[in-house]
Amino acid sequence: MNKKRFLCFSPTFVTAPSGARSVEESTVHCTRCNACVQSCPSYLSRHEEAYSPRGRNQIIRLLAERKIKFSDNETLLYDVCRSCLFCARCTAACAGVLPMAEHVLALRRAAEWDFLPASLKILLRLHGTHPTLFDMLLCVLRLFRRAGLLHLLRISGLLSLPPLYWLKHADDILPRRLLPLPSALKKHKINPCPEKPDILYLPSFEAQYLDAQQGLASLQWLADKHPLILTRTPSGLFEYVYGNLSLCMSQAKRLLSRWHALSGKRPLPVITDSIEIFVFLKHFPVLFAGHPAWRKRAEGFAAKVQFITQVVSARKTAAKTAGETVRCALDDSSLLYTADEPVLQSRKILKTLFGKNFVECEYSRFVIPAGGTAFVRGPERQNAVLENVKDVARRQIEQVYCLSGLAAWELDAALRRHYPQACARHIVHIQAKPWQNSRQTHPLYPPTRN
């Protein structure tokens, strides 16, 4: 057993009702009551202790106590880490509110396992570290697509060559009609950089690249009332989930510095359209638990973070969608933690708009979120999303509003394939006109041939 891997647990702090605590300490607080188990989609598809949140906690605890070794069954450990969907349903069910998804993240980091193909990871990492280079690569992709080169490369098998592998991933995950948010803003002549901004808007990756409509709708929603400034500084969430902690912290520090510089004397509210980024930013103080100076700044920052639905009222949007007769539901999933306030706010908005047609989904068994780990493949993930589709069909829901863009993207692709009567969109789309036919494909759920 590599000793370093154990030591990696300690400096990672996770949130707890009584404040931040180390991962080791947090797993010790698991009373093994098993209240979490029926909320875990991985467990429900396998019914084995190792794939339950309680089992994962015990694995980490036993590893930290050196009662088991990585080498005892590395395949099982890898599979256990891979099967966690970070949906945080276990945390919501836990009496001690243990952040079990974070425990698994800590184990993944300690084991130095990658769950993304290397080239895809490098590509997505570039978005945070070198956004200009990332944009240039996208231009290349667009050119290749327009010229039909990409199709040729794919059918000739050349895309499988390592130097071109990134193109395959980019082609898989990025939409056909690629319109990055900056270009979309130019096209719609929106200038989100006033001199005296009221709010700082932090768009998600999906709003920037996967679904520019989401970004535009968010901007329209916000810009109507508030002069805002848009920042593309990465939050560090991608590195937190898929990469290493030090890179994540340096990106978080960059964001904090940018916010501090823009705020001046008056702390600027930070708005985001991604529930994942929202909960991650809210937990910045825990991320900097070991750094008192940064922690103080992070606390001030976290207090100002808001989800997009918290800054608009339902009444305003009601006029545009009045007369709606479709049945809708809310996918309240978020990555790593549960987010109460935005969920309540979104529910209120949908109730106001849809009245009796808003279906309250008490997500119980399989019905789980797609949130945030859309790039990870695996049977659990696919099963979970398919169960979501079944639930939508069972309840005869026609529109599913998600708080996460990635969740909407993934669920919509699955719905398109298996239950085309319904579709899924990010919550900001209630602001937009009738949904446009801009459904994206997803690598896990390619469209049916007919």
Partner 1 sequence: MRLSQRVISKLQRLAGKENVHTDEISLALNGYDCSQSRHRPDAEITLKKPSLLEPLICLLAEEKIPFIARAAATNHAGSCAAVKGGVVLNLNPLHQIYQIDTRNGFADVAPCAITAELQNALTPLGYFYAPDPASEKVSTLGGNLAQNASGARCLKYGNTSDNTLRAEFITPRGETHVLRHDACGPDWLGLVAGSEGTLGIIKNLRVKILPAAKHVKTFLATFPSLAASVQTVSDLVARGLIPRCVEAMDQITTRAVEDFSHAGYPKDAQALLIIELDGTLKQIKQEAQLLEELCRANGCDTFTAARTEAEREKLWRGRRAAYSAMAALAPNVAVGDGTVPRSELPKALSQVRQIIEQNGVMASLLFHAGDGNFHPQIVFDGRNAEQTRRVNKTLHEILKTCVGFGGTVSGEHGIGVEKRAVMACQYSRETLRLFQQIKRAFDPDNLANPSKIIPVHFEDKTLPAPENDVSVLAMAQKIKNRFNQKHSTTLVGTNTQLKSHAADILSAAELNRILEIDKTNYMAVVQAGVKTQDLLRELEKQGVYTFLPPSYTGSIGGLTACKAYPAFIRQITGVQAILPNGDIVNYGGKIMKNAAGYNLCRLFAGSAGALGMITKLTFKIYATPQTIENEAKPLFSFEPDSLFRAVKNEVDPLHLFRTAAFGEVNE
Note the residues at the interface with partner 1 (CB under 8 A).
17-18, 28-29, 31-35, 37-38, 47-50, 55, 58-59, 62, 67-69, 72-73, 76-77, 93, 95-97, 364-365
Residue 386's CB is within 10 A of a number of other CB atoms, namely: 15
Please identify, using beta-carbon distances, which residue of 18 and 436 lies nearer to partner 1: 18
CB of 55 or CB of 128, closer to partner 1: 55
By C-beta, is 366 or 435 nearer to partner 1?
366
Least distance CB 46 / partner 1 (angstroms): 8
**Smaller CB distance to partner 1: residue 95 or 143?**
95
Residue 45 or 183 with smaller CB distance to partner 1 = 45
Half-sphere exposure for 341 (CA within 13 Å, toward CB)? 10
DSSP 439: P
Report the nearest approach of partner 1 to the CB of residue 284 (Å).
23
Q: HSE, CB side, 13 Å, CA atoms: give it for residue 190.
A: 21
CB of 16 to partner 1, least distance (A): 8
Smaller CB distance to partner 1: residue 47 or 265? 47
Closest approach of partner 1 to the CB of residue 66, in Å: 12
Q: Does an H or E element contain 407, and which? A: helix 405-418
CB of 7 to partner 1, least distance (A): 19
- SS in 3 state form for 266-291? CCCCEEECCHHHHHHHHCHHHHCCCC
Dist. CA 11–CA 22, nearest whole Å: 7
Strand order in the sheet with 423-426: 358-359, 328-331, 399-402, 423-426
Could you count the other beta carbons within 10 Å of the beta carbon of residue 409?
A: 26
Write the single-letter amino acid at 429. Answer: H
Dist. CA 99–CA 364, nearest whole Å: 19
Residue found by looking up tokens 């989609």 in the block = 41
Question: What single letter denotes the amino acid at residue 365?
Answer: R
Q: Which is nearer to partner 1, 28 or 179 (CB)?
A: 28
Q: Which residue do the tokens 């706010």 mark?
A: 345
Secondary structure (3-state) at 202: strand
Q: Least distance in Å: CB of 397 to partner 1?
A: 18
Please say which residue, 364 or 421, places its beta carbon nearer to partner 1. 364
State the minimum distance, in angstroms, from the CB of residue 351 to partner 1.
15
User: Residue written as tokens 């669920």?
Assistant: 411
Rounded to a whole number of angstroms, the minimum distance from the CB of residue 75 to partner 1 is 9
